[in-house]
Structure 1
Amino acid sequence: MDAVELARKLQEEATCSICLDYFRDPVMTSCGHNFCRDCICLSWEKAKGKKGRRKQKGSFPCPECREMSPQRNLRSNRLLTKVAEMARQHLGLQKQDLCQVHQEPLKLFCQEDQSPICVVCRESQKHRPHMVVPVGEAVQEYKLKLAEDMEYLQEEMKKTQKLRAKEEQTLAKWQDKVNKRRECITVEFEKMGLFLVEEKRRLLQALRKEEEEMVARLQKSKALLDQQNHSLEMLLLQLEDSSEQEPLQMLQDMKDLLGRKKSLTVLYPEATPPIEVRTVCRVPGQIEVLKAFQEEVVPDPTSAYPYLLLYESRQRCYLSTPPEVGMLRSKDRFVAYPCAVGQKTFSSGRHYWEVGMNLIGDTLWALGVCRDNVSRKDRVPKSPENGFWVVQLSKDKKCLSTMSAPIPVTLTEPPSHMGIFLDFEAGEVSFYSVNDGSHLHTYSQTAFPGPLQPFFCLGAPKSGQMVISTVTVWVKG
């Protein structure tokens, strides 16, 4: 008997016929057959529920010979325990060392399929044309390859670890830079906050001084007029009393009364002009902040007044020309005023745009926003009640809002560069002088009644120009 056959016999003797694996805690029945204790007990437990299988109480059939054997008459087989343990540890009896198909030892290695095979597989049609070497040679060959691969991987690991360490250093430096920048931002904004607080204090102080000076001036004028009114009132009472005296008594006092009247000097102070607040609301850096919401707003040629010319400098062409026959009847075109609206319609968000102006004469111009459905045929006041939120500009150094109760804003010169900021959700439209960053006016309401469009209105012909993004607008003379 060769070694393979001997090993196979040993394997059979050390295998439980129930679980087909090496014995674990083997026991012997009265008929002399061996099983794993758990296997035979489980087999008999299953047999309890089957009627007619037990002939004697407490006895069960042997799974191999069917001879009845008492359940309690199970003896441990210590010798078989040792044999099973030896078979389990014997390399020649490991299941993975045998061919799954032919149960022969895996002594050869197929280089085509990269798998171990047995001598029977070698002669099969599948492996016959393949290059085959003994397992020992294949092991040595692949050990060398594995050694080379392991050396390569070790070198790559070293490189990777160096790069990882470098990345860690870069990350640490980057985080340090970010932390320093974070500190810088915090410090600079704290400085700006202090600066804004100081600027606010300075402007409020200037406004308070201006208020005190104007109040003192007006109160002084009022006091003089009160005194003059008192003197006039006293003299009037004396004249009334004298007119009611006896004729001779009235004539006796007449010289004195007429002298008082002649000596009385009545002051007529100059009419106080409309009072304008000289202190300007100017928040440093506000225009730069607003420019984060800046958009390119372009007038819509189809909405423009028939004689309102629009020249696009980027395209070097006119967007509108003098009207042709039937053009005046367009439902989208302004015909009452030299006006136009922007191509964009806003119904949410924040938007900012700027308009440059070159004014000539005293004609009023208007800028702002309007509802997208305002009247374009009729002359209506440009007020929020009619769907207009605008300011009017003129060369006579005034900037007046067109509200029913206007809030005038005094300017040294009308802005040559106007910024308009729309905050739709907040219900606000604000106007700024881009030249010095000063705030001119803000409309504020609970909510806008609907979508809005940028609004532009010019004066008479030859009154000047507006520059809106890349479009120059003027009225044809």
Structure 2
Amino acid sequence: MALASTLASLQEESCCPVCLNYFKDPVTIDCGHNFCFDCLGACWENLDDTFPCPICRFPYYRKNFRRNPQLRSLTETVQKLGVRRSKRKQQLHPEHTTCKKHQQALTLFCDKDLELLCTRCSFTPKHLEHHVCPIESAAPHHRRLLEDKVEPLRSSLEQVEKMIALQGSKMLELRKEAEARRREIEAEFEQVCQFLQGEQEAVLRKICKEEVEILAEVNQNLAAFSAYLSGLKRLLKHVENKSEDSDLAVLRSLKGIEDKSQKLRRPDSCTIELSGYEVRLPAQFSGLGRIVQHFQIEVLYDPATAHPQLTVSSDKKTVHYHDNWRRVCYAPRRFYLCPAVLGLQSFTFGRHYWEVEVGTKPKWTLGACRGCLPRNWRNEPTVCPGFWALGRCVDTGYLAFGPQRAQIVPKVRPSKIGVFLDYELGEISFYNVDDGSLLYTFHHRFTKTIWPYFYIGRDPEPLKLVSVSDDET
């Protein structure tokens, strides 16, 4: 075994690192590396200024080499050993492959392009200025780099696996949520269908009942007209007969004819017309119920903005009007000319819903305003920018006023008003909570802070804010 190892080492020293064949006319350069004369010439071909060593890349500025007769003699001796070329090549470089372009062993590695090179490849313009090193020195370095990437790759692998598992669980949750939503929607539509079915049956019963009543009235009216017609015929015949009598008989019959004529009363015609019917959906089907459920908030009065004749309760949910003025501190946002107050909360985004109990107050105004209203604000139902409100006046009834003015005629007198602000959509809507109907909607592109606004009027009945807990109870 020792002899074979020594022989293999001797054979390796007798081979050119460029062509991997036995040295032919070996030469040695200053760094100590040996090459075939022709191989070294091929490596330095087309080079003008710098001539690097094909192995260690040490640069030389001229072609400086010397013949090596001792190495040539050693090579000739090794050749006489008669070892098969293919076997020796496998022993010397078992992992090396051949460059397809130059048919030389791939003994070098380019760090920039990450490519295996033969010696001649390393001198091409593509790699000449790159860092090129032997495979034996490049492999350990890049092996360490690969080992350094193992943990980050494992970490990324774990993260991706966790993400996939999380996405899988989310998909399962989504399916469950979608199924729950489907059941919820089906239940809601079933409820709507049942309600509509009941409404349909009730309206049809009313129509049928009214039809029977009208037909009975028409029959009675027809009977009355038939009796009247018979009386007219008898009177006509009697008059025709008497007109042919003598003068004395005609005159004697006039009073009787007049009495019979007075007794004939023409009946009134009856109205053959059905009443108007309409289906009124409750609040939970018109959308108000869903708004209340998702967007109702706790709005409170701001005492710092209340008129001196207004008293705000300790919980800031009720406000009263008094004839006497209170001593109050000056505040730039306080109302001084009309009994009004702002909400404590302000809004710059989102959707918000609040309710106000107006009761039977003869005059009130509810809504929202932009920033601070002027100190001389009088709450007059005129066109006013930056103000969106709905109110009740003794003379004009219900009005929506602000950027535009509109008369409102609610079907049911409201005792409670709902205000819904959708900042992003640019809408302020007013609802009659008593029947769930929409009274009016303002449209505006909001860009500034919005404050709830309340005008109390000058009557003693309070204006109450309805809280979420009050609605739930």
TM-score by length of 1: 0.46
TM-score (norm: length of structure 2): 0.47
